[in-house]
Amino acid sequence: MPQNFLEWVWLVPLLPLLSALVMLLVGRSLPRAVVSWLCCGTVGLSFLVSLGIFRTLASLPAAARVYEKVLFTWLPAGMFQTAAGLAEFRIEWGYLVDPLSAVMILVVSGVGFLIHVYSVGYMAHEGGYYRYFGYLNLFMFMMLTLVLANNLLVMFVGWEGVGLCSYFLIGFWFLKKSAADAGKKAFVVNRVGDAGFLLGIFLISTTFGTLSFTQINAAVAAGQLSLGSGVITAITLLLFMGATGKSAQIPLYVWLPDAMEGPTPVSALIHAATMVTAGVYMVARTNALYQLAPLTLEIVAVIGALTAIYAASMGLVQNDIKRVLAYSTISQLGYMFLACGMGAFATGIFHLSTHAYFKALLFLAAGSVMHALSNETDIRKMGGLWNRIPLTARTFLIGGLAIAGIFPLAGFFSKDEILWRTFSNTDYPVGFRQVLWGIGLLTAVMTAFYIFRLVFFSFFGQSRVPREVEHHIHESPPVMTIPLVILAALSIVGGWVGIPAALGGSNPFEDFLAPVFQSHAAAASVEATAQGHGLELGLMGVSLVAAAIGIGIAYLFYLRQPELPDQWAFRFSRLYKLLFNKYYVDELYSAVFVEGPLLGKTMGNSFARFDLKVIDGIGVDGTGWFTRFSSRLSIWWDTWIIDGSVRALGFTVRLLSWPVRVIQTGFVQAYLFLMATGVVVFFFYYVIRYRDEIRQLLQLR
Amino acid sequence: MAELIDALQPYLIPTLRVVIAFLVLSLIAAAMIWIERKVLAHLQVRLGPMRVGPHGLLQPIADTLKLLLKEDIVPAEADRFIFLYAPVISVIAALTPFAFIPFAANDRAPDVNVALLFIVGVSSLGIFGTILGGWASNSHYPLMGALRSTAQLVSYEVALGFALVSALLLGGTLSMRGIVEKQAEFGVWFVFLQPVAFFILFVAALAETNRNPFDLPEAESELVAGFHTEYSGFRFALFFMAEYSAMVLVSAIATTLFLGGWLRPFANTEVVIQGFDVLSLLDWMPVAVFGVITLWLLKEIPGADSNTHRLALLVFAVVFGGVTAALLLPGVLPAVQGVFWFLFKVFIFLFCFIWFRGTFPRYRFDQLMRLGWHFMIPVAIVNVIFCGIGLLLWQQWDWNLAGALWVGNLATLLVALLLAGRTPAGQAA
Amino acid sequence: MMFYQVTFYVLAAIAVVSALLVITRRNPVHSAIFLIVTLLSVAGLYLQLQAEFLAAVQIILYIGGVMVLFLFVILLVNLEVTVRQEPFNRMWWIAGVAALVLLAELAITYYLGRQAFATPVVSAAALQPNTELIGRTLYQTYMLPFEMASLLLLVAMVGAVIMARRR
Amino acid sequence: MVPTSHYLFLSAALLTIGVIGVLTRRNLIVVLMSIELILNAVNINLIAFARQLASVEGHVFAIFVITVAAAEAAVGLGILIAFFRNRETVNTDEIDLLKW
């Protein structure tokens, strides 16, 4: 009975929901053992179900690998005006099983299950045990709903749901102010993106008259919209805005580093493996639209590449182990978007899954380290732990190798796939794609560097652990280490499902996903055959070298000559500070969006502060660079280009924040008045625009 | 013109009734003042008014004249308009409902199918008279009094409403006439099926009409005379009248809902002795009552103080004797049966009001509130629930109606006792 | 039937005029009184529209409940200053203009659909017996919304108590 | 019989008056009263259409509206009292903390 498992798809999200409800209703009074067994059990079960679904799906012929189960009609809202004439707006709550969602639920529930188990050990001594697991399971439900949704609105429910849960979990220790603030920050920043997403949904519904993915794809296949038309570009851009919010891309990435305030397993599950990848998934899910909007794809690619290198550069100098991992997550997400931008959606998903393995592994291992050092996160207070907590250290090393992209670990295949696609994507002009590839390569170097900086800092060298912590360093209990081991294994073999043809593999992963991404998968494979494997192999070699260089520098800096980093930090102190303070972007945002609405005085102050720091920052560091060649040149450069640009920046920022400032009177009736005016205007528009329809409609009575 | 009459037809009768009610009630109010003073006096072993007329029988007239002739003062800082019209609001609110109350089977009261809701609603408008009058006086005691009485009325209106609901459930209709007919059909007054509800209704009524032991809004010892401290003369009289009309109104409602309205006691039971239904003697009750009064008046004549008193007594005796005689005319007795019994019951109620006033000490305000919210309302709600269950048992599993309801009542009493044990308000109750 | 129209127009006029007074009086107590007048005349309109039950509910709940609450609060928050202050805020004129535009638009719409909104041909007894019909609809078709409404009221009550409680 | 459209015009008028009150009055209590006006305008529409369509559902919805109105009034006045206790004012233009 092969269909059976597909019939059971609704179980996948339902199981976690049940235990979540139990937790949040009566959890307080349950003993911890029950809580752990119940929560992990339900997630494990839904993992098994998804495994079954996956196997059933794989057993079907490639063409038949789509199964849509409608549970009930959610919003039967009647007729409404669309670009394609009157259409009936009805939203069905349904689950769509196809290769893409199958892979996703497998990753989500699998990694989720491991992290649940790990949490049992990690949270053992924490209060609010049931609350934690309740939120975690609720998150699983929402995430699975998001992944399985058969239309954009249900997806949006999941989308908001995971945002909510992440808010809960970031602020899990809500008595700690920083945690509560971080939660709020994440929530607010995500609202910005979600607004875009929502607008995109509106636009889609008024364009296609439906939100169901299958129907949208059908409409696209029927050629309802022309390639690169304005509407489709707008839609895709809006959707991508949502993606940048959820997946922490420029400019909305700021919330993710702070989100590390939450418990480490949460960072692993939500802010590394699953939720933050929702944006990538959404882009891949709506690839049919994106493929019609080359402009958007280009933007996606650029944003992805920039985010990748930008975040990596910030990761270089952070001292908080979790923050480094957070920045690395951001930059890896950048890779995924780069892939999507290249139209290689399957590759993006591939990297998504491998990244889920090794990044979850890294986070959990980091958590285990913190566990051993009584919640110390500053790597400068670690070191020499290689033999003190052997299992954790080794698994962490494996994760590091994987993310650095060392053959034959998981990261290698996915990352190189991305780089190769970028390099050899013929949709883009020659210079452009090589530049992107270069950025990707540089990022790879940085990645290898900062990850091994972590490794050497925390596990090798002489111990810098404070005395009082020193004596009770201990390896974590098996309930925590076993998931580590499993994830380590996954990050080794995880990539082998996607061994490219160049290495004699047949990339079954992408073939499996191919039906979801019709055209481009085909195009890509055509390219592959066309260009032969020489180039691909060459690129692999290059990136391997890059990774090696990164590791080498890290080795040189942190094992061979530990004094070097400080010297460099001193010599390029401005640059160092700039990186260390994350380019002052938080300050900038707070200046514009938070304090901007205040009156000019605070504006002036914030800008004065901003200008001061950045002018000095970039300016003097510019001098630092250019004294190498000529101080006069550098002075000229400093005064005119740098200061000028920064002043221009500050000016534009002030200019931009002006309307915000004016509207935000804080006077209730002013807001009400704006609302009323909106009503008036729209009403006016509709009365004029649709007067005949109104007449007809009213005659019907 | 004719069609205008037709159109006005449904509006004429109520208006007429209101006017009549106004006249009758002003008489009743006057009489009530005398009765109240006398009864209170005798409860406290005093004589009460004796000077004006025999046994102070003419006291009401004197009081009325005095009130009407007094100067009608408006405080300087008062909000003039509101101050002047607040009493009118009270009176109107108290009188309008009488348009919808059927006094007898042969009384052609407009039979609106939401009559009860209207009566409750309109009578609840009386609050505005109080609160506005108190506010408009622009003086502290009236303001306090107004606030208190508002809080009190709002709180006890809930309990009152729930008490009414259980009667509605039994009656299955909102029309007053329908409810009475239902009681006739059951052959038992609802008070015997819903004693708890009746009790709640009675207490709530006391609170609604600001009577002892709930007369805080005009607690002399605390705030001079409550919301009508600043009022004098005619307008004061209006407030007074509104208060007594409200008493009569709640009594009328209670009578209709729980005491079988115009129904004679034992309306449809017979005790036949030698082919003669003894209970039918009750039909002669009106004659008996008026006759007794006449005889008493005549008996008083010899021992009266002065000739004027004798004259007055004689006049009263002639009036009552005339009434008795009129009742003996053929056909009159059956015609007035309903009205008589209705008023009879109402007067019993009014007597109870006075009796309570003579008996109970006054609550403290917080006690009052706690009693209302922590005891009356929960009990009332529970009672409604059990009443509903009882009716369900009766209709679905045809239990005996009375039995089911009584079980419900006992359960309610149990709850009440638990509450009483728990909250100090309960002890106060 | 002449009389029917007259009643309507009289009640409507009262409603509109006293509504205007509500928003123009300086003294909140006066506003409250005129609001009561408006509500009463609206209740009268309900009677005309064969909605006795609603009229009763309007009187009991709105006037006997909500408005008393309003007056009560006004008395608690007894502010003489508000009487002397400027009753309107700075943007009154522009807001008024916007609102009037809204009125105009509504008028246009209704004008467009005037045939549709002509006198109904329904027999007067269609909504009778009113209370029973409402009861059945409320407790059968709209059971869930009804329960939700009760829940809403509960929440509102708790919230109000919590917020107004002296701390 | 009065045509439904007249009821609609009446309710439009009440609505507008209510909106003006909400937008322009400074006294928070009066603003709340204006909201009640708006809700009443809605109810008039519902009832008028109930008569036109001979369906009692309009009445039911009007009841819901009244429920919401009651809840809104309770909460609104609760907030108002709490606010008055802190700031000794009920003027809307002195309530501008939304700015932060």
Q: Which of residues 53-112 of C touch A (CB under 8 A)?
A: 89, 91, 94-95, 98-99, 101-102, 105, 108-109, 112
Task: Tell me the pLDDT band of A488, cut-offs 50, 70 and 90.
Answer: very high
Closest chain B C-alpha to C22 CA, distance in angstroms: 15
* pLDDT bracket for residue A522 (50, 70, 90): very low
* pLDDT for the residue numbered A558: 82
- A-chain residue closest to D93, CA distance: A667
Please state, in angstroms and rounded to a whole number, the distance separating the CA atoms of residues D40 and B296: 60
pLDDT at site C11: 92
D92/A671 touch (CB, cutoff 8 Å), yes or no: no
Q: Minimal Cα–Cα distance from C119 to chain A, Å?
A: 12
Subunit contact B135:C75, Cβ cutoff 8 A = yes
List the single residue in C with minimal CA-CA distance to D89.
C79
Under the banding of pLDDT at 50, 70 and 90, the label for residue A241 is: very high
Strand B272-273 to strand B276-277: parallel, antiparallel, or no bridges (unpaired)?
antiparallel
Mark yes or no for CB contact D10/C15 under 8 Å.
yes
**End-to-end Cα distance, chain D:** 55
The answer to which of A154-158, A245-249, A431-435 has the lowest mean pLDDT is: A431-435
Confidence of residue A590 (pLDDT cuts 50, 70, 90): low
Cβ contact, residue pair C88, D74, below 8 Å:
no
Convert the pLDDT of each residue in B87-114 to its tens digit. 888 888 888 888 888 888 777 777 777 8
Of B8, B125, B153, the CB nearest to C3: B8
From residue B411, alpha-carbon distances to B379, B404, B406, B428 in Å are 10, 11, 8, 21
Residue type at B407 in one-letter notation: V
Q: Give me the pLDDT at residue B119, please.
A: 87
| pLDDT of amino acid D99 | 58
Phi and psi angles of residue A80, each rounded to the nearest 5 degrees, phi first = -155, 160
Q: How far is CA A21 from CA A35, A139, C144, in A?
A: 12, 12, 22
Span A652-694, pLDDT tens digits? 777 777 777 676 667 778 888 888 888 888 888 877 777 777 6
Distance from D99 to chain A by nearest Cα, in Å?
4
Residue A446 pLDDT greater than 60, yes or no: yes
Our CA-based measurement puts residue C88 at a distance from the nearest CA of chain D, in whole angstroms, of 5
Say if residue B429's pLDDT is above 50.
no
- Contact criterion met (CB < 8 Å) for D98 and A597: no
Give the residue from chain D lying closest to C128, CA to CA.
D56
Of C22, C145, C149, the CB nearest to D33: C22
Chain C residue numbers with beta carbons less than 8 Å from the beta carbon of D38 are: none
Which chains does C contact via 3+ CB–CB distances below 8 A?
A, B, D
The answer to whether the Cβ–Cβ distance between D70 and C16 falls below 8 Å is: no
Cross-strand pairs, A67: A97
**Do C130 and D17 lie within an 8 Å CB cutoff?**
no
pLDDT of residue B37: 87
For residue D38, what are its two tokens?
């708006």
User: Which residues 676-695 of A have a C-beta within 8 angstroms of C?
Assistant: 676-677, 679-680, 683-684, 687, 691, 694-695
Chain C residues with CB-CB distance to A683 below 8 A: 102, 105
Looking at CA atoms only, how far is residue A606 from chain D in angstroms?
Answer: 16
Structural Rg of chain D based on CA atoms? 17
Mutation target for C interface from B11, B117, B373: give the one with most C CBs within 10 A. Answer: B117
Determine the length of chain B.
429
CB contact under 8 A, B3 and C3: yes
DSSP B226: G
- Residue B361 burial (CB count, 10 A): 7
Q: Which of residues 106-165 of C touch A (CB under 8 A)?
A: 108-109, 112-113, 115-117
Annotate C51-109 with DSSP letters as a single string: -HHHHHHIIIIIIIIIIHHHHHHHHHT--HHHHHS-SB-TTHHHHHHHHHHHHHHHHHH
Q: For residue B337, is pLDDT > 50? A: yes
Give the closest of C29, C68, C130 to B150, CB-based. Answer: C68
Mean pLDDT of the region D1-22: 89
Q: Using the beta-carbon criterion (under 8 Å), do B157 and C64 form an inter-chain contact? A: yes
**Separation between Cα atoms, residue A572 and residue A549, nearest integer Å:** 21
Write out chain A residues lying below 8 Å of D99, CB-based: 597-598, 664-666
What's the rounded Cα separation, in Å, for the pair B243 and B410? 34
Report yes or no on whether pTM surpasses 0.80.
no
- Is residue A68 within 8 A of residue A154, CB to CB? The reply is no
Kind and range of the H or E run holding A442: helix A430-459
Contact list in A for residue D24 (CB cut-off 8 A) is 669
Residue A82's pLDDT band, with cuts at 50, 70 and 90, is confident
Integer Cα distance of A382 and A366 in angstroms: 12
Question: Is residue B423 predicted with pLDDT exceeding 80?
Answer: no
Nearest chain D Cα to A661, which residue? Answer: D99
CA A438 – CA A441 distance, rounded (Å): 5
pLDDT, tens digit, for every residue of B398-411? 888 888 888 888 88
Query: Does A146 or B14 have the greater pLDDT score?
Result: A146
pLDDT over 90 percentage in chain A:
28
Query: Cβ–Cβ of C116/A677 closer than 8 Å?
Result: no
Residue B174 in contact with partner chain C when CB distance is under 8 A: yes
Average pLDDT of A284-295?
Answer: 89
- Convert the pLDDT of each residue in B229-247 to its tens digit: 778 778 888 888 888 888 8
Higher pLDDT, A16 or A569: A16
pLDDT at B233: 79
Minimal C-alpha gap between C87 and chain D (Å): 6
Helices (H), A556-636: 563-571, 573-580, 585-589, 600-614, 621-626, 631-636
Nearest Cβ partner for B147 among C52, C69, C75:
C75
For the segment B212-236, the average pLDDT, to the nearest whole number, is 73
Which chains lie within 8 Å of chain B at 3 or more CB pairs, if any? C
**Residue at token pair 């006291």:** B59
Checking ipTM against 0.90, whether it exceeds it is: no
Is A71:A10 a contact under the CB 8 Å cutoff? yes
Tell me which chain D residue has its CA closest to the CA of residue C21: D17
> Is C54 in Cβ contact with D47 (below 8 Å)?
yes
**Residue D18: which pLDDT band, with cuts at 50, 70 and 90?**
very high
Does the CB of A670 have a partner CB in chain C at under 8 Å?
yes
Q: What is the pLDDT of residue A104?
A: 92
For all residues of chain A together, what is the average pLDDT?
Answer: 83
Which residues make beta-bridge pairs with A72? A93
Q: Quick check: A385 and A470 in contact, CB under 8 A?
A: no
- Six-digit token string for A124: 């053992």
pLDDT, tens digit (0-9, with 9 covering 90-100), for B147-179: 888 888 888 888 888 988 888 888 888 888 888
Distance CA B239, CA B72 (A): 13
- Quick one: pLDDT at residue D15? 93
**Contacts with B132 from chain C: Cβ below 8 Å:** 29, 33, 71
From the CA of D39, how many Å to the nearest CA of chain C?
11
**To probe the interface with C, which of B88, B125, B179, B373 has the most C CB atoms within 10 Å?**
B125
C68 and B154 within 8 Å at the Cβ level: the answer is yes
Sign of CA dihedral A148, A152, A156, A159: positive
Is the pLDDT confidence value at C10 over 70? yes
CB of B84 within 8 Å of a chain C CB? The answer is no
Over residues D33-48, mean pLDDT: 92
Residues of A whose CB is below 8 A from D17: none
How far apart are alpha carbons A147 and A154 in whole angstroms?
A: 10
| pLDDT of A601 | 56
Name the more confident of A502 and A59. A59
Range C60-78 average pLDDT: 85
pLDDT of residue B426: 43
Write the burial class of residue A170 (CB in 10 Å: 0-12 exposed, 13-18 middle, 19+ buried): buried
| B33 and chain C in contact, CB less than 8 A | no
- Which of B131, B138, B152, B153 is most worth mutating to test chain C (most C CB atoms within 10 A of its CB)? B131
Percent of chain B with pLDDT over 70: 93
Nearest to C75 among B82, B146, B153 (CB): B146
* Chain D residues touching residue A664 (CB < 8 angstroms): 98-99
- D19 CB within 8 Å of a chain A CB: yes
Check CB contact under 8 Å for D30 and C130: no
Residue A128 one-letter amino acid = G
- Across the interface, do C115 and A669 touch by the CB < 8 Å criterion? no
